[in-house]
Chains A and B, each alone.
Chain A
Amino acid sequence: MTTFLGLPTAPRGVGHLRETEPFPVAARRALADTQLRRNLGKATSTIRAKRAAVVAELPDWEELRAAGQAIKARTMANLDGYLEELEANVTARGGTVHWARDAIEANQIITGLIQAAGATEAVKVKSIVTDEIGLNDALAGAGITAHETDLAELIVQLGHDRPSHILVPAIHRNRAEIRDIFLREMGDVDPGLTDEPAALAEAARLHLRRQFLTAKVGISGANFGVAETGTLCVVESEGNGRMCLTLPQTLITVMGIEKVIPSWADLGVFLQLLPRSSTGERMNPYTSMWTGVTPGDGPQDFHLVLLDNGRTAALADPVGREALHCIRCSACLNVCPVYERTGGHAYGSVYPGPIGAVLSPQLTGVEDNASLPYASSLCGACYDVCPVKINIPSLLVHLRARHVEEARHGRALPTPEAITMAAASWVLSSPARLSAAQRAGRAGRLLSRNGRIGTLPPPLAGWTRARDAPAPPRQSFRQWWQQGRPE
């Protein structure tokens, strides 16, 4: 008899998908960072307002969301077929398709391709998936320098920092901090640089120009891959992507397998949903699309690396797979009251915020990101704004149940929490036992002063660190009712 051990998850020791410390610990540090709190509060409230305004303009927004949801559900139900269709069409138009089981394989493939092109440098379009697999580190290990060309990614790279937002990787930085990073790290920058946004953008433009014009290899992610034609699509705001996608001789695109969509008609739905949800724009400034290789125009050597890295494992969970519908707009981050206060680094993974809390644990296995499904008050704001209607609160609840179930099977003895919850279930499922507990709990009145309790023992001590607790009343409601409603 064989034991099914489950589908492979993203390997440990490579890439950036795992928490290095539990969310509550990382969050505590972030919450005390005054500058971070201010930067995040300002940035998220600005994007929130922009998104709300442009979404309200569309009379058919809810229909668009429903269409996006339906297209993604259909794609996931037939993912293997669409991927093979994409491969066939990319290949027919002169591209080469590579299948990468995980981050390690993807990094090996990409390193080999750059070496084969005889290059030691590459320019990169902003891409989260290459950060997921830790590509820059892997390339550096092979003596290849990857240059980030998206302004925010450049700020993060020059600052020896980590991205903290899906769309705005340097959202945790303000312009004064960015000026300091440029002055310290750019080398060729004007020492009189001010923190005016236009001046900062100009400094980056001058810095990047040389790289665009000399790079032999460009690396990108993909927002969408259209199966019926083999067309890849990247949407962006700065034009750096267009440069990377058109100037180098060799183009390597890394795409998570869930980014495939069946047809051009489907693309039309997502190109309406994505910019309004992410940047709060009606249309993003640059939409680049390319299909294989066009002789004499643009890259003459095109490679598409299709990445699994735990996605098939997520697909195997009939509830959890909905997280694969994500189009990386980051609207859920911007409305999340937890993300707004802790920022993205607290989540550990390149996918922060509500979507990260349901995606990262599925890619790595829940035990490797065990605190993330609990990093939410389940307020539901994320679900309301999701352009493809991912029910993130339900997925969080589902992953909490998976975590508890998996922990239960992996342990000889129950955790203290499991013992408490079992006892609570015993009490709360019986009116007689609940009534007895209410009578016993009345002793809590001894702890109270003026109807309030200032200190509770663990596990409730976290509550009374910042909040009073109510003293138990003399009489529960059911007792009052049973006594014939005195007064």
Chain B
Amino acid sequence: MRVALFITCLADTLFPEVGKATVTLLERLGHQVDFPAEQACCGQMHVNTGYQPEAMPMIRRYVETFEPHEVIVAPSGSCVGSIAHQHAMVARRQGDEELARRADAVAARTYELSQLLTDVLGVEDVGAHYPHRVAYHPTCHSLRLLRVGDRPLRLLRSVSGIELVPLPDAETCCGFGGTFAVKNSDTSTAMLADKMRNVMATGAEVCTAGDSSCLMHIGGGLSRLRTGIKTVHLAEILASTA
């Protein structure tokens, strides 16, 4: 299958290894990855901060870039959540019904990585090997906007060598929330502290999730406290082999 990769501006700029892992994984499974060079950002930060007119050029670019592609994947529940739940809504609110209709159509073909693997490509065992103790944090938007459910866990359970440990209060937000982490940094930090306490209680070496943004937040805290626990994107674990 040909799959177009929406890398997301965050992974593109700060976490290119997540994109490389996604490419490695999909090619290992026998699929062809396209990277449409005209892509940029989904606009979620602008929408969630109240700047909808400013988000419109990003929404239009996403729709125009990916309209020719049949299947689109992004290694982020949050960006796919925004594409699925916000693009058409914002376009309508800004009075562009035609863009809204096109956005709906493209959003219907845009998948978060674990959705693509399990629902579209029909695999759970991707042939990965990852001999580490891992705690999985289900990110809010993958869980409650996209309803990925246990798809990431099913993929992780099929990884050889992995020791998957349950994370207490796993479904509680880590406190990132985009600009929330800056505007309400004290509350965000209090939420992060509880998330880190739970991650540390598992004795995990690695905390994983399907979103680079949440991992940047959790990882930023774990690094600041020199816990020695690292954050690794789900795609990187699934791309690892013996």
Contacts and interface: CB of A to CB of B under 8 A. Distances in A.
Most chain B beta-carbon contacts within 10 A, residue among A28, A338, A342, A428: A428
A2 interface: no
A183 B186 CA distance: 36
A471 to B, nearest CB: 9
B15 A337 contact: no
Given A467-B221, A470-B216, A482 B37 contact: yes
Given A378-B177, A380-B145, A425-B46, A467 B192 contact: yes
Contacts of B216: 469-470
Given A428-B58, A434-B9, A463-B220, A338 B46 contact: no
A341 B20 CA distance: 38
Interface residues of A, number: 64
Interface stretch (A96-104, A322-330, A473-481): A473-481
Contact of A477 (B19, B38, B43, B55): B19
Nearest to B195: A337
Nearest to B224: A468
B176 A421 contact: no
A462 B185 contact: yes
A475 B16 contact: yes
A238 interface: no
> For the complex, would chain A's binding face be called helix, strand, loop or mixed by DSSP majority?
helix
Contact of B41 (A27, A376, A380, A434): A434
Contacts of A466: 185, 189, 192, 221, 224
B23 to A, nearest CB: 8
A254 B25 CA distance: 62
A466 B187 CA distance: 11
Interface in A400-453: 400-405, 417-418, 421-422, 424-425, 428-431, 434, 437-438, 441, 452
Contact of B38 (A342, A381, A431, A470): A431
A27 B186 contact: yes
Nearest to B187: A27
Most chain B beta-carbon contacts within 10 A, residue among A378, A403, A437, A482: A378
B191 interface: yes
B188 interface: yes
Given A27-B184, A460-B182, A379 B14 contact: no
B183 A374 contact: yes
A3 interface: no
Contact of B58 (A376, A425, A473): A425
Interface in B155-200: 171-173, 175-192
Interface of B: 7, 9, 11-17, 19-20, 23, 35, 37-41, 43, 45-52, 54-55, 57-58, 60-61, 85-86, 89, 93, 140-141, 143-145, 171-173, 175-192, 216-217, 219-221, 223-224
